[in-house]
Structure 1
Amino acid sequence: MGEFWPVRDVLTYLTGNWRVERTVRDLASDAEGRFAGTTVFGPFEDAGLLHHESGTFVWQGVPRPAERTLRFLPGPHPGTALVRFSDGRPFHDLDLTSGRHVADHPCAADLYRGEFTVRDEHHWQSVWRVRGPAKDLVLTTGYARVG
């Protein structure tokens, strides 16, 4: 088996519950935060998945509850998805047919570049590099299937 694990059907692969651990590094200040929680990928409307993440984010020693919701809609073929924010605005595309994908998301003056890698049927990771006039961040998230 190679370094990456190809995914034939991304929505089927993601369906279910995942344990999430994220580090957020501010490269400008060298500050670091951590998020720990869960992500549930459940059915959304007629097709697709609703991604709901919830947990605790600790920044500069202060824990806070945190959550977000995304929509994962079917892409042009089963190994792909179109990722949208909770309000339906486009976020990025996702193609895991090779087990690895890089996606860009311009946000105002900042550029978010995400690299997604699948290690096996129970583990995948995203690394977002955020650069802009006010941001210089690296967000590394590990996902481990629960159950």
Structure 2
Amino acid sequence: MGEFWPVPDILAFLGGTWRAERVVRDLASGDEGRFTGTVVFEPLEDGDGLLQRESGDFTWRGVTRPAERTLRFLRGPDGTADVRFADGRFFHGLDLRPGRHVADHPCSADLYRGEFTVRDADHWHVVWRVRGPAKDLELVTDYVRTDVP
């Protein structure tokens, strides 16, 4: 097997609770922040996807605040998923069958490019690079499973 761990069914893989550690770097200013928290993937009411609830603490410029985010992972074909914002807007597709996926999300004049990699059954990693007229960011997140599915 190569450096990536194939995921035949993303919803089955993600279900449960994960610990998230994120480093946020503003590459223009040099500022760096950190998020530490919990990410829970639970079945949607209709059973056709997962609701991702992320909550924790984000420290930026020496100030720590609570932070949270909700996304929906809707079942796609052949073990893939469509990732949507909480309000239902499309965010990006996600196919981890080869253990790695690159996704783009245009947002106004900015481009978000995410690289998702799976290391094994209990570890995955995401790097978002955000470029645009007002943004030059890198967000690196490591996820570690905290429960046994």
Asked if these proteins are the same fold (TM beyond 0.5), I'd say yes
1:40-99 per-position Cα deviation (integer Å, ceiling 9, x unaligned): 000112210000000000001100000000000001211x10000000000000000000
Query: 1:51 aligns to what?
Result: 52
Letter in 2 for 1:107: C
Instruction: Give the TM-score taking structure 1 as reference length.
Output: 0.98
Query: 2:105 aligns to what?
Result: 105
State the SS of the aligned residue for 2:5. coil
Instruction: Map residues 1-147 of structure 1 onto 2, 5 A cutoff.
Output: 1-46=1-46, 47-78=48-79, 80-147=80-147
Please provide the CA RMSD for this pair: 0.5
* Cα distance in structure 2, aligned partners of 1:50 and 1:117: 20
* Cα distance in structure 1, aligned partners of 2:2 and 2:111: 30
Q: By how many angstroms is 1:2 displaced? A: 1.4
Q: Which blocks of at least 5 consecutive residues in structure 1 are unaligned?
A: none
1:88-135 per-position Cα deviation (integer Å, ceiling 9, x unaligned): 000000000000000000000000000000000000011000000000
* Cα distance in structure 2, aligned partners of 1:144 and 1:134: 32
Letter in 1 for 2:100: R
Structure 1 stretches of at least 4 aligned residues deviating more than 2 Å after TM superposition: none
* Cα distance in structure 2, aligned partners of 1:45 and 1:114: 28
* Cα distance in structure 2, aligned partners of 1:115 and 1:28: 21
* Cα distance in structure 2, aligned partners of 1:87 and 1:76: 22
1:5-55 per-position Cα deviation (integer Å, ceiling 9, x unaligned): 000110000000000000000000010000000000001122100000000
- Percent identity of paired positions between Structure 1 and Structure 2: 72
Letter in 2 for 1:27: L
